[in-house]
Amino acid sequence: MAIASINPAAGETLRVFEPLSSEALDQKLAHAFATFQSYRKTSFAERAQWLSNAAAILENSKQEYGRIMTSEMGKTLQSAVAEAGKCVWACRYYAENGERHLADEAIATNASRSFVRYQPIGPVLAVMPWNFPFWQVLRFAAPALMAGNVGLLKHASNVPQCALAIEDILRRAGFPDGAFQTLLIGASQTASVLADDRVAAATLTGSEPAGRSVAAQCGDRIKKTVLELGGSDPFIVMPSADLEEAVSTAVKARTINNGQSCIAAKRFIVAESVYDDFERRFVETMKALQVGDPMAPETDMGPLATSAIREELHAQVERAVASGARLLLGGRMIGGPGYFYEPTVLAGVPRRSDVFREELFGPVAMLFRVTDAAEAIEVANDSPFGLGSSVWTSDTAEQSRFIDEIQAGAVFVNGMVASDPRLPFGGVKRSGYGRELGVFGIREFVNVKTVWCK
C-alpha cells in the first residue's frame, strides 16, 4: 500500500511514496549494521560536532521545516517553527553534555580499580508518531547517535516528507552514511525489522495497542524497548491557585498541537469553591479560539491530522454525552474541506463511563468538580494512564502531597507539562516505561558494563 502525504487542512494528497521492497529494506538493515561497526568507534568530539551541525541546519531553516510539518499534519505554522527550534535545543544539549553523561563512573570495591562503562549496543529502530513529527524523532536520535548507536526510523505513514527531511538534515550535518536511515515502510513490514537480529532494540512513541505489539515482538526476541504511550493528564486547580493564570494555561495545555499531544492536559479537576468561576472562564476562553488555516498567523488551532482521528474523537464525545456528561461547548465536526473540530468542553463525565478512562486526542476537555485535595488525587489517579500532571496551588503542604501521591511520570507545580532535554520524560502504568531525554534517556540504549581490575 502506498504511503500518502495528505494535507489535513484541505484533505488533498500532496505526495505519494512507494514503500520499500523487501530487498531494499534488507539492504538498509545491512547498511545500518555495517555502519555501526565503524561508527561506534568514532569519538564523542566527532559526534558532538555532527550534532551541532544538525542544530545549525535546523535553526537556519526553521520556517522551511515548519511548513513541511504544517502541510503534513496540520499544526499551526507558529508551533511547527517552534518545534524545529526545540529540536535545535535537543541537538545542542546532547552535543554539549553527552560525553559527560556517558563518562566512566568509578565505584569503590575491593578491586584495585572498578568502574562502569557505557557502550553503544547497535542499530535502534524508532517507531515514531505524527503529532510532533520532528521533535519525537530528534529527541530519540540526538542521544542515540551521541551514544554511538545508529538509528532506523519507521515514521508515521502520514508524515513521510518529515521523515525524509530529518534523514537529509543528519546526512548534511556530516553523520556517516547509514548512521541514520528513514525506512518508508508500512506497519505490516515493521514486524520483520523488529525480528531482524541486526536490530538491537526499539523505541516507540504512540498508542497503547502499538506499544503492546512492539513490546510483545521485542520480548519474544529479548530486545530492549522504551515505550511512551498515551496519556490522560490531570490538571488540578485548588482554591489558593492564581485562577486567571490557571485558566489561561489550562486552555493552552488542552489545545496545544490542536489538542493532539500525549502530555496535553485532558482532565481538569477543580476544587468546588472555585469550580464555577473556573468553568465560566475556561468555556469563554475556549470559545474565543480561532480555528482555521494553520498557515495563517492569527490561527489558534488547525485541523486534526486525519479524518479517522476526527471521527473517533466525535464518537467519544457522543458516548460521553450519552453516558450523562454535560456538553458546555462545541461537540461538532466543522464542515467544509479539512478535518477541523470545534473546541469542546464536557462537564461531569461519569467515572463509570468508558470515555472517562480513554485518551481524548483532540481539543476536547473534561471538567470535574471535587471537594478537596484528597478527592482531587483520587480522581487524578483513577486512570489507566500516568504520563504527566499539572497542579495549581500556592499551599506548600498541598504541593508536597500532590508531588508524593499523584501516579505519573511528571508533576508540574503551577506550570504546564512540557518535555525538556535536561529532564527525563516518560510515564507509568499504561503510559509506558523507560525514559527519554536527560541523562536517563541517553543511557537507555547502552551496555552498562561493569569493569573490575584486580
Residue 387 one-letter amino acid? L
Active-site position among 72, 83, 167, 228: 228
CB neighbours of residue 39 within 10 Å: 22
Compute the 3-state secondary structure of the chain and give helix, strand, coil in percent, each to the nearest 5.
45, 20, 35
Q: Quote the cell numbers at residue 430.
A: 499504561
Nearest CA among 348, 399, 349 for reference residue 377: 399
CB neighbours of residue 85 within 10 Å: 17
Active-site position among 87, 91, 218, 262: 262
Per DSSP, the chain holds a count of helices (H) and strands (E) of: 14, 20
* DSSP assignment string, 250-290: HHHHHHGGGG--TTSEEEEEEEHHHHHHHHHHHHHHHHT--
Beta strand pairing status for 326-329 and 344-347?
Answer: antiparallel
Q: Is 436 annotated as catalytic?
A: no
Q: Is 72 annotated as catalytic?
A: no
3-state DSSP call for residue 62?
A: helix
Give the span between the Cα atoms of 290 and 164, in whole angstroms.
32
Residue ranges of E strands in 64-186? 105-106, 113-120, 123-127, 150-154, 180-182
Q: Quote the cell numbers at residue 319.
A: 458516548
C-alpha distances out from residue 304 to 75, 125, 293, 383, Å: 8, 27, 12, 24
Q: Quote the cell numbers at residue 28.
A: 538498509
Nearest CA among 274, 250, 240, 279 for reference residue 399: 240
At 450, which helix (H) or strand (E)? strand 446-453
Residues 377 and 406 sit within 8 Å (Cβ to Cβ) = yes
Q: In what order do the strands lie in the sheet with 150-154?
A: 180-182, 150-154, 123-127, 201-205, 224-228, 432-433
Query: Which DSSP symbol is given to 393?
Result: -
* Residues with catalytic function: 228, 262
